[in-house]
Structure 1
Amino acid sequence: MNFRSVKTLYAAEMARSLRTVLQSIVSPVISTSLYFVVFGAAIGTRISEVDGVSYGAFIVPGLIMLMLLTQSVSNASFGIFFPRFTGTIYEILSAPVSYFEVVLGYVGAAATKSIVLGLIVLITARLFVPFEIAHPLMMLLFLVLTSLTFSLLGFIIGIWADGFEKLQLVPLLVITPLTFLGGTFYSIDMLPPAWQIVTLANPVVYLVSGFRWSFYGMGDVSIWASLGMIALFLALSLAVVNWIFRSGYGLKP
């Protein structure tokens, strides 16, 4: 593996984030904090606890997961779309750099930014409400796997999109609604039985539930089901990325 090429692509993407620190880091943290303040204050006064956990602490994992999913997709999609838009992607593809190294550089940078944002939001949430992390290693595992998987999804979207409008299509119309309906602000046990069954068809439920389990040792679904779902997402994303480079879809002029 050419580590120098991976380092160059990775460093270029990280440098772009540092040049736009207000948009890349400060804005997501403020937005997530506002979610926490508004929902914690508005609903927390009516719901004191959920499964023995204060409502303010209960929504912390869901809000971090919401931010992880949206930011991982947005960072990775724009990271690969911009070189396609400017045409510099052809210089990268013609260089002695393998497809794996290209993906590792772009996706690695996007995942790193999401992980850093997740940790910053975690620290920020601690200023608002006390909470403990029952399984810190599992929490870090979910943090890394989710960031990596959805950065791969963002990479796929960046290849698929032929305009800036399409970059926001999936995050706004698919990922964000699924996250809001995936138990971010509530336990699915609070829903009527019929809606509980429907909600289990939402794959984001398994991600939010698994991440919440790492905090409080409880979730809406089994921790093994959550790990299986994120592993399935990761495998599907890798398969699609492999097909993209083998077929040249979205990369060849």
Structure 2
Amino acid sequence: MTQTAPRTALVELSGVGKHYGNVRALEGVSLEVHAGEITCVLGDNGAGKSTLIKIISGLHQHDGGTLAVEGEETRLSSPREALDRGIATVYQDLAVVPLMPVWRNFFLGSEPRKGSGPFKRLDVEFMRETTRAELLRMGIDLRDVDQPIGTLSGGERQCVAIARAVYFGAKVLVLDEPTAALGVKQSGVVLKYVAAARDRGLGVVLITHNPHHAYLVGDRFVLLKRGAMVGNHTRDEITLDELTRQMAGGNELDDLRHELQRP
């Protein structure tokens, strides 16, 4: 009987830790990110989610454990190196210029040019058409790519950022609380395009504090608390109720319930 060889993770963290002086920000955190899958990282404020993002995106280096990209152990020295290795991060406070049109923000920092010498100029037509086409490929049908990106809803701006990362060749997409400031309908829109990125073959890391959003799209779930990993499950190992219970504190919540009961 032929055995299938194990897949190499796009990104794999094993026992990763990070200290700032005497402060432990992360310790012993492990996770895997595979092509065509969504790994959800859950935790409250102060759980270590932001530190984890910074390590994966190359902003900070880990000082314990190992980080491997496509099977090669490495230490990412900068966000540019992470991008060059195919890891794109979309932060909660999107790096956009609100008054610039959607197409200009789509290519911000990577604007194609045409012509030569003193006649070299931005290829505006290419950027407009490419932006429109790439958004449509992700299922995003904007009214007008010439409209200022600041006129879009928060969910629409998140979707543009996701489409941009896909277009520029990301293999791994790290999303920092993309639904945190959104209502139910807009959150649904964003999760739809997160799933679209997964279906395009990207490995997605979804950082969130909402277990319901995570369970809608997630394949793997890593739970953090005070910098430590308190859970690591695949989808078939855990139910939404149990994920919510662990996220809410589990046994600590049961103890609190007993303390708060009327005598």
Q: Structure 1 length as normaliser, TM-score?
A: 0.24
Determine which structure has more spread, i.e. the larger CA radius of gyration.
Answer: 2
Structure richer in helix, relative to its length: 1
Q: Structure 2 length as normaliser, TM-score?
A: 0.23
